[in-house]
Structure 1
């Protein structure tokens, strides 16, 4: 099955909120080698003016990938995850993500382009700090390269 190009322009319903936990921030910081005290120590973060631990900027990928699962797991989308290579990831932050945030995500499929046995699927995840979608926290743009069956 090939990628369903008609998915370009699709917007998914908002995901259930992701609870940003202190330990998840600490674990992500450790996994990525980020030792800034604002990611690890509440008092250090508060001393810098934040209400709680601050997530590293790339932490948003954890939340975005959870939303992107809606597309990946949709059998009609035609994406075989075993053939996926992550091609690009871009972050635009409107405010820091901090422990205690409840992030609601809306997934958009911005483009599906197939060439020579390779499909490029570009998604955009809009992250909000409220269910009303008025507290715009970040935008995560991802491009997935999906190899065709003959590639």
Structure 2
């Protein structure tokens, strides 16, 4: 079933807040193979000029999974999760986030389009991460929806 770009952009995401915890940062750093002690040792982080443990690269994506229904937008659009692919992700950082920060997460679909005669649909989601109302980072992710039955349009 093709994705209606107007309907996709109308999907709403509940805003939510989450505190960045040291243990979670350490676990994430370990999971991605990060060996720089600045990401796991508070003393090393402070010696490097950080307030506390800084977030490792791509950590912010894991915060989006804290949403009450992080993939509910796919259901709302009638998308079968078996047919999605990760199409890309980009992070733009405006200032550092560290353990102890509370981050507000705002998400929205900013674009939806098709390629290959409708065999592939693309959803572009923008996520803003705010600390104390200030934009700390922006993530842009693309989900590709395959239509195994071929072109839909």
Q: What is the TM-score when the length of structure 2 is the normalising length?
A: 0.85
- Structure 2 residue aligned with 1:139: 138
Q: Equivalent of 1:128, from 110, 127, 130?
A: 130
Are 1:118 and 2:117 an aligned pair? no
Are 1:79 and 2:79 an aligned pair? yes
**Superposed displacement of residue 3, structure 1:** 2.3
**Superposed displacement of residue 129, structure 1:** 1.1
Shift of the 80–11 alpha-carbon distance from structure 1 to 2, 3 Å rule, reads closer
Moved more, 5-14 or 20-29: 5-14
- What count of residue pairs does the alignment treat as equivalent? 147
Deviations 1:92-138 (A, max 9, x none): 001122111111111121111123311110010011013xxx22110
- Structure 2 residue aligned with 1:105: 105
Structure-to-structure mapping, 1:1-151, within 5 angstroms: 1-10=1-10, 12=12, 14-66=14-66, 69-70=69-70, 72-74=71-73, 75-115=75-115, 116=117, 117-130=119-132, 134-150=133-149
Name the SS for the 1:28 alignment partner. helix
Q: Matched residues in 2 for 1:6 and 1:80: separation?
A: 19
Name the SS for the 1:85 alignment partner. strand
**Superposed displacement of residue 57, structure 1:** 2.2
2:13 touches 2:108 (CA, 8 Å); kept in 1? no
Shift of the 16–7 alpha-carbon distance from structure 1 to 2, 3 Å rule, reads same
1:14 touches 1:104 (CA, 8 Å); kept in 2? no
